């Protein structure tokens, strides 16, 4: 189980070994099902996920879509709300019991004024979130639900086994029945490959 | 017409007044129609647009979509390729004659090692690109082509007047005929409003 300091030393700046972070952090345990950031709320925190799974939901007219899932050893936040100080149009939910480490906006902004390391962490993590977004946007434009399901199955088999079908369907932007159909077709094509047909 | 130094002083750090930037930059004039970064190329530069309009294209199977347009006083790049050192799946084209100021990858990475200002510029500009992406992704999920056209018309009237219909249609992800139909309906509803019907 990794803390922010351990993560920064491992992935961002090995030279901080032993030195303290340029901002305060606090730890928290969050119960399964807890809404961490609500729709419309202005995000005041950045979280580091030590253990558990996080869901980012987006309300689209009457339906709730799932924008993203986060897994341990990554930062998460309603980040657009956090950096632009506008109401969050996403909602963050703990899908399982989660352990997190938190950084307050004020502490981070203070550190950004004078700390090279704080700006380096902020830059690198924003780059990672950016790459994630670009990938998701391109996937929505260029891939079918089946292709995206197969990719998720490969990259996050643990997620697929932990989550109910309707959550995965909402993440893929399709009806649960369509996902069941895709799953059946894939199972069928597996059988055909195995039997050489 | 703004340079990077002027932009940084105005929007990122007023205290750099007079001091030099933490990385080298070079200027260039780019002819209309020039492909600045090709599909499959690994991006080695970040550009600052001093004047002109930039198009970011995305090849989707046989069709080319337009992901984004950039206007003066903003940084642009095949940024996902630049930060992840993977082949670009976008193509950058000068839609008009453009004047740009360029930063080389190597110079930026060197500056990131030791310069607070370089990391601050990188962080703030990555935050801006992130917000842009989030907005675009949410728009694709939640807004109709008509709503997105009206928004573009409001935020970038200049763009609409400068670009051919087929470019705008490709940006909205619809057929040019659909865009013509939307335009006619909007013109018709304007007439009805004016005549009080």
DSSP string, B126-186: HHHHHHHHHHHHHHHHH--HHHHHHHHHHH-HHHHHHS-HHHHHHHHTS-HHHHHHHHHHH
Report the distance separating Cα A10 and Cα A3, nearest Å.
Answer: 11
Q: How far is B58 from chain A (nearest CA, A)?
A: 8
Closest residue of B to A136, CA-based?
B137
Tell me if A58 and B141 make a contact (CB, 8 A cut-off). Answer: yes
Q: What is the ipTM of this complex?
A: 0.83
Report the distance separating Cα B96 and Cα B1, nearest Å.
Answer: 16
What's the average model confidence in pLDDT over A118-130? 96
Between these two residues, B50 and A190, which has the higher pLDDT value?
B50
pLDDT band (50, 70, 90) for residue B34: very high
B119, B138, B142: residue with CB nearest A123: B119
pLDDT band (50, 70, 90) for residue B196: low
According to DSSP, the residues that pair with B45 across neighbouring strands are: B104
The overall average pLDDT reported for chain B is 89
A116 membership: H or E segment, kind and range: helix A116-142
At B191 the pLDDT is: 65
Does the pLDDT value for residue B186 go beyond 90? no
Q: How far is A120 from chain B (nearest CA, A)?
A: 6
Does the pLDDT value for residue A86 go beyond 90? yes
pLDDT band (50, 70, 90) for residue A173: confident
Cβ(A70)–Cβ(A54) below 8 Å: yes
Q: Could you report the per-residue pLDDT of B117-175, keeping only the tens digit for each?
A: 999 999 999 999 999 888 887 787 778 888 888 888 888 787 777 788 888 888 888 88
Q: Which residues of A touch B126 (CB under 8 A)?
A: 123, 126-127, 130
At B76 the pLDDT is: 96
Tell me if B83 and A127 make a contact (CB, 8 A cut-off). Answer: yes
Q: Could you report the per-residue pLDDT of A100-118, keeping only the tens digit for each?
A: 999 999 999 999 999 999 9
Maximum Cα interatomic distance, chain A, rounded to a whole number of Å: 65
pTM over 0.90: no
Q: Could you report the per-residue pLDDT of A5-63, keeping only the tens digit for each?
A: 999 999 999 888 777 899 999 999 999 999 999 999 999 999 999 999 999 998 877 77
pLDDT band (50, 70, 90) for residue B197: very low
At A88 the pLDDT is: 95
A87 membership: H or E segment, kind and range: none
Between A97-111, B14-28, B38-52, B85-99, the lowest mean confidence (pLDDT) is in B14-28
Tell me if B141 and A60 make a contact (CB, 8 A cut-off). Answer: yes
Q: Could you report the per-residue pLDDT of A134-172, keeping only the tens digit for each?
A: 888 778 777 888 888 888 888 878 777 778 888 888 888
Q: Which residues of A touch B141 (CB under 8 A)?
A: 58, 60, 65, 140, 173
Q: Which residues of B touch A67 (CB under 8 A)?
A: 137
Q: Which residues of A touch B135 (CB under 8 A)?
A: 80
Give the residue numbers in A contacting B (CB under 8 Å), as ranges. 58, 60-61, 65, 67, 79-80, 83-84, 89, 112, 114-116, 119-120, 122-123, 126-127, 129-131, 133-138, 140-142, 173
At B9 the pLDDT is: 93
Between these two residues, B92 and B177, which has the higher pLDDT value?
B92
What are the residues whose beta carbons fall under 8 Å from the beta carbon of B52, sequence distance 6 or more? B30, B72, B94, B95, B96, B97, B98, B99, B100
Tell me if B123 and A112 make a contact (CB, 8 A cut-off). Answer: yes
According to DSSP, the residues that pair with B48 across neighbouring strands are: B75, B101
């Amino acid at each position: 189980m990794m803390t922010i300091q351990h993560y920064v030393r491992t992935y961002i700046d090995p030279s901080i070994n032993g030195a303290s972070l340029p901002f305060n952090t606090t730890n928290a345990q969050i119960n399964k099902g807890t809404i961490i950031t609500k729709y419309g709320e202005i995000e005041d925190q950045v979280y580091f996920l030590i253990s558990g799974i996080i869901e980012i939901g987006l309300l689209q007219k009457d339906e709730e879509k799932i924008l993203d899932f986060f897994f341990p050893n990554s930062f998460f936040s309603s980040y657009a709300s956090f950096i632009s100080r506008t109401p969050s149009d996403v909602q963050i939910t703990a899908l399982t019991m989660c352990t997190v480490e938190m950084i307050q906006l004020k502490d981070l902004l203070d550190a950004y004024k004078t700390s090279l390391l704080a700006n380096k962490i902020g830059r690198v993590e924003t780059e990672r979130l950016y790459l994630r977004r670009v990938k998701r946007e391109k996937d929505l434009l260029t891939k079918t639900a089946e292709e995206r399901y197969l990719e998720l199955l490969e990259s996050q088999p643990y997620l697929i086994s932990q989550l109910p079908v309707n959550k995965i369907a909402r993440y893929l932007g399709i009806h649960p029945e369509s996902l069941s159909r895709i799953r059946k077709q894939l199972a069928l094509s597996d059988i055909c490959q195995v039997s050489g047909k």
